[in-house]
Amino acid sequence: MGRMKRHTISYVSFFLCQILVLGACSQSGTIGGRSMEPVAVLDFVVPSSSPNVMTDLGGYSMNSEKYAYLRLSDAAGVVDTFRIVDMESEETVFEGTFSGAKNNSLLLVADFSDLTTPGYYRVECETYGYSEVFPISEHLYGSLSDKAKAAITESCRDLSADPRTVLDYLQAYEWYSDMLSDVPDETESGVVSGAPDELVCVRDWISGRDYEGSVGTEAVIYSTILAKFSFLYKNYDSALATECLQKASSIYSQSGNVVKSDSAAFRALTELYRASGESAYEAELENYKELFSSGDVHPDEGYMYGAMTYIVTRQTVDRDLCDMLVDSILADAQSINNRKREITDPMYSQTGGNDEMIGYIRTLMCANYILKGYEYDRTMQMMLHYISGLNVESSAYEPEPEDEGVFYLIYSCMAALEKEGKL
């Protein structure tokens, strides 16, 4: 999933000599004489040297918790204190004492949460050198959300957006539009009743795509997009919304029975049922009860977002099915939360890859949505810190264009929390 972008530090001669002497990170894959397991989440070529001080390269939200990790070396020993240097003034603006990392004797933690002034900084400590430069921003996730939104908007307009990206984009709009969306100038957009920017670009993407001949899972995804768009757009142009719903129904019908028992089909059915209220869709959804009652199904992306749609619809719903869906999602979220430290351990992360980490965040977002609270905000932020540089190679994940949708959804969630002062 995506590619990795290496961020490399240029050390002054003094620190370079120290690193060579201490052997803090060698090509043999050892740290301080201890063997180092490869970090599964990140897929990249190990560089010849890495900074000993790990930070979130994307930065920290102004009022959130902020921490860095120091990777210890037997040769260098333990240090007690660290400092934060402002890169503009080159002055020390914060000093603190390292604490031990839970369940990892190779790491020390530098907590600088009390530093809230926006700017560009780095962490420094004796013997080990310094981290890469990182920002502290008042609206970090808001800026990241805006950047992802701009990329998706452009890809929708040139019709290059992947359908899964569009679906995540609509999900973000549905959940966070009250806080994050913009209403365009009607004279410029030509939109009936001034529809929001997100819906305008999806409308244009739909009108320019050839999805009539799609079959199988591709058809199911298109029907989900059309049904969700119809529901969200009906207050702006009811005629177009009705046309989209009719197309969604037709495309789902041609998808083939072979896919009508999987999670993508479940999500499509929930959107079709919410938008239309048709009893045929209701009956198909109730057929999933037997599957969920087995206890062997853990909700993936399709089941989770389908569940979110199903439990909030104003149509008649099966309460037992709702309970099964909610209980399954909350159980998975709690299991993930219980493992948050081993999942985000920078040295020995117990995760199978980027897709798995993003899947964890999706589950926690859905659980928070169900609970209408902030129980898992901290865990989500820990995971974002990990894939943004708080890992053994100090490498940041840079999503491919087709992954912008899920990151827009995640950043929109975090931006909403940031705006509410919950981070």
Percent of the chain surpassing pLDDT 70: 82
pLDDT score of 20:
33
Q: Which of 149-163, 179-193, 286-300 has the highest mean pLDDT?
A: 149-163
Distances, alpha carbon 69 to alpha carbons 10, 105, 287, 314, in Å:
19, 12, 49, 48
| Domain span holding position 17 | 3-137
Q: Helix, strand, or coil here: 73?
A: strand
Q: Specify the pLDDT at position 180.
A: 61
pLDDT of residue 1: 44
* pLDDT of 96 over the 70 cut: yes
Residue 118 vs residue 402, higher pLDDT:
118
Measured CA distances, 99 to 58, 78, 110, 112, 223 (Å): 23, 11, 7, 12, 52
HSE-CB of 241 using CA atoms within 13 angstroms = 17
Q: Average pLDDT in the 398-417 region?
A: 89
Q: Are residues 19 and 51 in the same domain?
A: yes
Question: Are residues 47 and 119 both part of a single domain?
Answer: yes
Relative orientation angle of helices 404-419 and 140-157, to the nearest 10 degrees: 140
Q: Which of 28-32, 162-166, 378-382 has the lowest average pLDDT? A: 28-32
Shared-domain flag, residues 34 and 86: yes
Contacts of 325 by beta carbon, 8 Å cutoff, 6+ apart: 292, 299, 303, 307, 310, 311
**Mean per-residue pLDDT for 187-213?**
79
Which of 85-94, 323-332, 389-398 has the weakest average pLDDT?
A: 389-398
Give the residue, 83 or 209, on which the prediction is more confident: 83
Task: Express the helix, strand and coil content of the chain in percent, nearest 5 each.
Answer: 50, 15, 35
Q: What is the pLDDT of residue 24?
A: 37
pLDDT of residue 23: 37
Residue 421 in this model has a pLDDT that exceeds 80: yes
Rounded to 5°, the CA angle 337-342-348 comes to: 155
Residue 291's φ and ψ, nearest 5 degrees, are -65, -50
Q: What is the pLDDT of residue 19?
A: 34
Q: What is the domain count for the chain?
A: 2
Same domain, 166 and 296: yes
Share the mean pLDDT of the chain: 83
DSSP string, 251-281: HHHTT-GGGTTSHHHHHHHHHHHHHH--HHH
pLDDT above 80 for 212: no
- CATH code of the domain covering residue 366: 1.50.10.10
pLDDT at 216: 83
Same domain, 329 and 266: yes
67, containing H or E segment: strand 67-71
Query: What is the model's pLDDT at position 21?
Result: 35
Looking at the predicted structure, is the pLDDT value of residue 34 above 70?
no
Pair (185, 284) in one structural domain: yes
Cβ–Cβ < 8 Å for 170, 228: yes
Q: pLDDT tens for residues 298-351?
A: 668 899 999 999 999 999 999 999 999 999 899 999 999 999 999 999 988 877
pLDDT at 238 over 70: yes
- Using a 10 angstrom Cβ sphere, with 0-12 exposed, 13-18 middle and 19 or more buried, the burial of residue 299 is buried
Q: Buried b vs exposed e over 227-259: b needs ≥16 C-beta within 10 Å?
A: bbbbbbbbebbeebbeebbebbbebbeebeeeb
Grade residue 15 by pLDDT with cuts at 50, 70 and 90.
Answer: very low
Task: Using the structure block, give the residue that is written with the tokens 């240097």.
Answer: 85
End residue of a domain, out of 112, 137, 162: 137
Angle made by CA atoms 152, 155, 158, in degrees to the nearest 5: 150
Query: Among 137, 160, 184, where does a domain finish?
Result: 137
Of 76 and 172, the one with more pLDDT: 172
Task: Determine what percent of the chain is predicted with pLDDT higher than 90.
Answer: 62
Higher pLDDT, 394 or 373: 394
For position 137, what pLDDT does the model report? 96
pLDDT band for position 81 (cuts 50, 70, 90): very high
Confidence grade of residue 261 (pLDDT, cut at 50, 70, 90): low
pLDDT tens digits for range 116-158: 999 999 999 999 999 999 999 999 999 999 999 999 999 999 9
Asked which of 119, 137, 155 is the last residue of a domain, the reply is: 137
Name residue 108's beta-bridge partners: 70, 100
CATH of the domain at 23: 2.60.40.10
Over 80: is that where the pLDDT of 12 sits? no
Residues 52 and 70 in one domain: yes
Instruction: Judge whether residue 10 has pLDDT over 70.
Output: no
Quote the pLDDT of residue 129: 93
Is residue 292 over pLDDT 70? yes
- Average pLDDT in the 84-98 region? 98
Q: Which residues lie closer than 8 Å to 115 by C-beta, 6 or more apart?
A: 66, 84, 93, 94, 121, 136
Q: For the sheet with 53-54, list strands across it.
A: 53-54, 67-71, 104-111, 99-101
Same domain, 131 and 159: no
pTM value is: 0.83
pLDDT at 258 over 80: no
116, 159: one domain = no
Q: What local confidence, expressed as pLDDT, does residue 296 receive?
A: 66
What is the reported pLDDT for 356? 87
Residue 77: pLDDT over 90: no
Q: Does 148 share its domain with 120? A: no
**Do 238 and 259 have their domain in common?**
yes
Instruction: Identify the pLDDT of residue 94.
Output: 98
Is there a single domain that holds both residue 85 and residue 181?
Answer: no
